[in-house]
Homo-oligomer: A and B are copies of this chain.
Amino acid sequence: MRKVIVQKFGGTSVADTDKIKNVARTVVKEKEKGNDVVVVVSAMGHTTDYLVKMAKEISPAPSGRELDMLLSTGEGVSIALLAMAIQSLGYEAVSFNAMQVGILTENVHSKARIVKIETDKLKKNLNEGKIIVIAGFQGVTSDGEITTLGRGGSDTSAVALAAALNAERCDIYTDVEGVYTTDPRVVPNASKLKEVSYEEMLELAHAGANVLHPRSVETAKLNHVPLRVRSSFKTDDLGTLIVGVNNMEIDKPVTGVAADLSQARIVVCDVPDIPGQAAKIFSKLAHENISVDMIIQSYARKVSNTNDIAFTIEAADTDKALETLNQIKTSINCGDILVNSEIAKVSIIGAGMIDRPGIASAMFETLAKLGINIKMISTSEIKISCLVDKADAEKAVRALHEEFGLSANTIADVKGDLPNL
């Protein structure tokens, strides 16, 4: 049986007609290997921004249903143009929007989740030798309403299609060359990872690495779809393969280092040490749709019988969080509420740190040597995060990258020349 390869190209890869022709060549190359090819594309370049701008000119708060109708047109353009470009290279191609395929989602607008994908039409067309081009980011409800999948939507479409078609692999073509040990803009000799596990990728994403939206990685993990992040422009480079941790050979405890500069810390001081106080605070914040990341509660002070509750949120939510907390300040009977936006969360990630002691202490020592004060710590099985002053973030990332042996002598950018991590 022929293998199915799903390829996904984002908006920058199809930003103009020349780039679309390039994408067509990449698609055809995969077809020529004897594979069945399904291509998922986003809207061209800044199409979505332009459509949103028009919607805002008409209404400050356009309805979700109509916004989805509007935005879904963007991929309609790119799939048709890409199908034409593939045809002009002499291959049969056919484009489908989500409604035509039957990419069924929940009945929710602007951030629907895929519940099912019909595969009959796709399989029929693949069996006829056609290359299929599918609109990413969009879906349809069982009632025929058009929905969109929200941020990272096209990646999720691609992964879900790969799962439904039992694809050999899902290739996410993007404007970076793969997943790096850390941000190459901060650490020039960051090295590209040849492989990374779903779990590490998820932690990297949550820690501020923006290559893939966590949702698409979660979908891939759940459905055991091997994902490859690779460059639209250097298509000979294999990029980074993302697979289950069981399929990997792990020889380094730490895979990557990341810094997230988008958070702010809030400290609620002198909270009386009686049950239910933390629940009051965090349920109220959750109700206001404010996501909380790290949470630290200090030991209760013997004298006052109070403690401090510190946590981090997206800096953009700060005003809303303060307003919310002030509403319950009296009922909690707490002291001051302090805010610090000049912080950064620095994390080391690695499936290899499971059952390997000493990783956390090595991290803390590295930071201590640099005189960097750690304000908060949180850990998961495969991640250790430290909150530090924003000004120290870059220095911390560089030192940790060196400490855990992630630096390459040269940045590997050709096939076969990757450091064997």
Which residues of A are interface residues toward B (Cβ below 8 A)?
17, 20-21, 51, 54-55, 57-59, 62-63, 65-67, 69-70, 72-74, 76-77, 79-81, 83-85, 87-88, 93-95, 97, 99-100, 121, 144-146
Contacts and interface: CB of A to CB of B under 8 A. Distances in A.
Contacts of A62: 84, 87
A80 B70 contact: yes
Contacts of A59: 84-85, 87-88
Contact of A80 (B57, B67, B87): B67
A17 B145 CA distance: 24
B76 A70 contact: yes
Looking at A65, A77, A79, the one whose CB has the most chain B CB atoms below 10 A away is: A77
Contacts of A81: 54-55, 58, 66, 70
| Secondary structure class of chain A's binding surface, majority of residues | helix
State the number of copies, please.
Answer: 2
A58 B21 contact: yes
28 contacts: A17-B54, A17-B57, A17-B58, A21-B58, A51-B77, A54-B81, A55-B81, A55-B84, A58-B81, A63-B83, A66-B81, A66-B84, A66-B87, A69-B76, A69-B80, A69-B83, A69-B95, A69-B97, A70-B76, A70-B77, A70-B80, A70-B84, A72-B76, A73-B76, A73-B80, A99-B99, A100-B144, A100-B146
A57 B18 CA distance: 8
A67 B76 CA distance: 11
Contacts of A87: 59, 62-63, 66
B100 A85 contact: no
Among A73, A80, A145, max chain B CB count under 10 A is at A80
Contact of A88 (B21, B58, B73): B58
Which 10 A-B pairs rank lowest in CB-CB distance, beginning with the nearest? A70-B80, A73-B76, A69-B80, A17-B57, A73-B73, A59-B88, A62-B84, A66-B80, A66-B83, A59-B84
A141 to B, nearest CB: 11
Contacts of A93: 66
Nearest to A144: B100
Given A58-B17, A84-B63, A69 B79 contact: yes
B58 A20 contact: yes
A17 B65 CA distance: 18
Contacts of A146: 100
A131 to B, nearest CB: 12
A63 B51 CA distance: 27
Contacts of A21: 58
A87 B21 CA distance: 40
A66 B92 CA distance: 12
Contacts of A84: 55, 58-59, 62-63, 66-67, 70
A340 to B, nearest CB: 40
A66 B54 contact: no
B65 A94 contact: yes
Contacts of A69: 76, 79-80, 83, 95, 97
Nearest to A101: B144
A9 to B, nearest CB: 15
A222 to B, nearest CB: 29
A28 B61 CA distance: 19
Contacts of A55: 80-81, 84
A63 B92 CA distance: 11
A82 to B, nearest CB: 9
A100 B144 CA distance: 6
A129 B99 CA distance: 26
A62 B88 CA distance: 8
A409 to B, nearest CB: 43
Contacts of A58: 17, 20-21, 81, 84-85, 88
A99 B102 CA distance: 13
A124 to B, nearest CB: 11
